[in-house]
A and B are shown apart, each in its own frame.
Chain A
């Protein structure tokens, strides 16, 4: 991984959140590090015909075929060219391994749970259901994603059910 990883040590607070932060369409998002299996450079995706639009394709992750989703499409952002910094974040959600595309991975961050607040109604352009909370960090605003709601069986199950 070529991107810089810096560790912000915050020692106060009873519960510490360790997050991976990344950027999609100019906004900064974060997910719990425990859900993240690995972060890969962009690789060739095999398109799957007749799959839901946000499924970009499948990749071979050391012998396992996993789907890769485009977060931009999931969030309803305009699509963009994949660049040098595009990464595939591989996560495990409810026992299922999948990857999603992000524009750039920032860092691994420790923050206290105290600075995380529930999502205000109009915080950003994405569906508030996907947001687990918002963290204010100096002048940055981190959007903590709820992976269960974003990729969990209920979310993808709807797509699969529509397919069947």
Chain B
């Protein structure tokens, strides 16, 4: 693996990784409607692309499994087999294996050998054998192809033997199969180029095909063939916009290129590099592409053979002969599949539905992107750097704003200068805000990226639990910051598992309770202002209040006489505590009492909120609210003694100036009466290790997180500011209340108060 440029390998991993995760969710969708031709095509194409790239990198083991899966899908696409559960299991296993192999590739390890039984099962499907054949079908195509490469074939003049690396030899037949397949389709499309109504569509499909051919040809490292492919691709691209005259000249020549490629492929099959030169063909096509007319004209209605004759000097008969020849023996329908006795329609029409389905989609896509790609891949590091710079910009902007405010109040400077400065500062403010949003958006990704993994998860859970579960996903297009996506993955898996394992009942129980046999889990995402709300709703048995309450009493979290008075919400909240589980038995899915604690911690890390509501017998809803981004947040700056701290604004309920009479202490801890409730207070002395005397704290900031409230006593209120969170690395705080630091508008550093930690401290004292 190391023989390749790490960059190329990395590109392969990124691209194929994306394709693979899409593929996985598509497969699960496909299972719902195994005959959906569009979905079958999509899945097939993704797998084909992965295989193509892998073969370029000589990843033999990966290609083997991908090829087997691909042939199974091809059979399904041609309606020879139906993807049933068994077939789907095999396909998903193949996807798992490819994933594993890609992981190994990333670590530069050897790729694991595909399981023979799996390959055989897939290959059997590919041959149209629906029931698992016990024989060794995988060997069949190989045996069929081997006579094609006899030792020492007779070389024609100008031909050279094909020399391939060890790793590549195994792949030869796959690649030639691919080439034949693509070239066959290319020939069909090339013929349509002279059709006045269909030429645009044909050209666009030809472009795709040329791409596929180029990828296969790349593998053989035969420069002239690559040149032909590139020429074909460029011609296909230019064709749609070419003048009528140029089209008449170009169409037969495109056909000629395809024929040329055909005969060269034919030679490759015999392990020969065909030395046939293509004379002026490429040159003239290139002239046509660039808008010039060639120096040699073809009569209207000329065929590919005429073009070959004119441009290469080859005799028309031999060229068309070669083309016809390869049509006969290279069509994958006759090579890879058994005789089409079992196929209801003729083999030749098989690729047509695929082509039609593409035709619907591709031109639209191409029209939307006239000047090439509209997206580029950017390394995350660069975005991160950009984000940091924007953070700096926000801080500098804050400084400018602070200075402007000071100028406004000072007497120096003329009135006009001050106004100018204010204007400039507010302009800067606006632009900075826009840049911030724009940069943040580059880091945004749809939740779909995460959600697409879950249908598979639920499918597997169905198998393990014996339940029938339908997963409904809504709002996958909702975008959140990349870091949020990363942190959200584990909690969502936990919650979905919980819903499937604990929430939903077995089919029989559901029927007995008068509910539909299939349980539904809904995963819904939506934007709520600057937050994203995620709901995980199941229609299962709901949380058992009595059991949770009993467990809480047993663990001494609440007194038995108090528990009845607690609202449901607070009782349910106990399940977020570490080690709290009411499951009777620990399964390998859940029940260890770790999950919900981890979920809560992760969500709090994202400055998010989580809450639960449940109705016994009717299901549970978990609601998660998280900010769109975690890098920049609005905060209230407060002074404590001489120091300045930042408090996240989202967590501030209100700020009050308590009447000394409302302050008291219960059991040694200070509390405050706030209207008709009692609010625990945290004093600056405890939290900030400041001397208790001498620090005036006239204000109480009422903080709230997940329905727990606490009051923080402070000296001064300074004002709102957007702060950029910076990590406090290497300082080694002992779990203090500082959740990070930020740079103030005066350039100094302020610590950010970690509200979750503060509340934990307040509650810790409650229990003590």
Contact = CB atoms under 8 A, between A and B. Distances in A.
B729 A96 contact: yes
Interface stretch (B200-208, B388-396, B569-577, B616-624): B388-396
B386 to A, nearest CB: 14
A120 interface: no
B735 interface: yes
Residue from A44, A47, A49 whose CB has the most chain B CB atoms within 10 Å = A49
B313 interface: no
A39 B643 CA distance: 26
Interface in A81-109: 96, 98
Interface string B737-754: 110010100011111000
Given A63-B395, A65-B726, A46 B732 contact: no
A122 interface: no
A164 interface: yes
B353 interface: no
Which of A47, A96, A164 counts the most chain B CB atoms within 10 A?
A47
Contacts of B150: none
B373 interface: no
A60 interface: yes
A7 to B, nearest CB: 32
B731 interface: yes
Given A58-B749, A63-B743, A65-B726, A48 B391 contact: no
Contact of B689 (A44, A50, A64): A50
A96 B727 CA distance: 12
A51 B737 CA distance: 11
Contacts of A34: none
A159 interface: yes
Contacts of B297: none
Interface string A120-163: 00000000000000000000000000000000000010011011
Interface residues of B, number: 28
A36 interface: no
A59 interface: yes
Nearest to A50: B736
B731 A55 contact: yes
Contacts of A46: 643, 741, 748-751
Which of B732, B734, B737 gathers most chain A CB within 10 Å?
B732
Contacts of A65: 726-729, 741, 743, 749
Contacts of A48: 728, 731, 733, 736, 738, 751
Given A60-B743, A60-B747, A63-B391, A49 B728 contact: no
Interface in B710-768: 726-738, 741, 743, 747-751
Contacts of A47: 643
A162 B726 CA distance: 23
A160 B732 contact: yes
A63 B724 CA distance: 10
Contacts of B748: 44, 46, 60
A49 B688 contact: yes
B734 A162 contact: yes
Given A49-B689, A60-B743, A156 B751 contact: no
Nearest to A64: B726
A96 B388 CA distance: 18
A46 B728 CA distance: 12
Contacts of B738: 48-50
Contacts of A44: 748
B324 interface: no
Contacts, number: 84
Contacts of B731: 48, 51, 55, 58, 67
B732 A163 contact: yes
Nearest to B734: A163
A155 to B, nearest CB: 10
A163 B749 CA distance: 22
B705 to A, nearest CB: 20
Contacts of A156: 730, 732
Contact of B733 (A50, A64, A98): A50
B741 A50 contact: no
Contacts of B736: 48-51
A76 interface: no
Nearest to A158: B732
A51 B741 contact: no
A63 B727 CA distance: 11
B106 interface: no
B687 interface: yes
A58 B728 contact: yes
Nearest to B747: A60
Contact of A163 (B689, B733, B747, B751): B733
Q: Which of A58, A59, A66 has the most CB of B within 10 A?
A: A58
Contact of A51 (B395, B729, B734, B750): B734
Nearest to B642: A47
A52 interface: yes
Given A46-B750, A59-B749, A164-B735, A98 B730 contact: yes
A125 B649 CA distance: 49
A127 B747 CA distance: 37
Contact of B735 (A52, A63, A163): A163
Nearest to A62: B392
Nearest to A163: B734
Which of B727, B729, B748, B750 has the most chain A CB within a 10 Å cutoff?
A: B729
Nearest to B737: A49
Nearest to B726: A65
A137 to B, nearest CB: 33
B732 A60 contact: no
A160 B388 CA distance: 26
Interface string A22-65: 00000000000000000000001011111110010011100111
A58 to B, nearest CB: 5
Contact of B741 (A49, A58, A159): A58
A47 B392 CA distance: 22
A49 B731 CA distance: 11
Contacts of B741: 46, 58, 65
Nearest to B392: A63
Contacts of B727: 65
A20 B689 CA distance: 36
Nearest to B746: A44
Contacts of A55: 731-732
A156 B729 CA distance: 11
Interface in B402-450: none
A54 B738 CA distance: 18
Contacts of A60: 743, 747-749
Contact of A159 (B388, B688, B732, B735): B732
Nearest to A46: B749
A32 B455 CA distance: 57
Given A58-B731, A63-B391, A163-B733, 9 more contacts: A46-B741, A46-B750, A49-B736, A51-B734, A51-B736, A52-B734, A60-B743, A65-B728, A160-B730
Interface of B: 388, 391-392, 395, 643, 687-689, 726-738, 741, 743, 747-751
11 contacts: A46-B643, A51-B732, A58-B731, A59-B749, A60-B748, A63-B395, A65-B743, A66-B730, A67-B732, A163-B734, A164-B734
- List the 6 closest pairs (A to B, CB-CB), nearest first: A50-B736, A163-B734, A46-B749, A159-B732, A160-B732, A67-B731
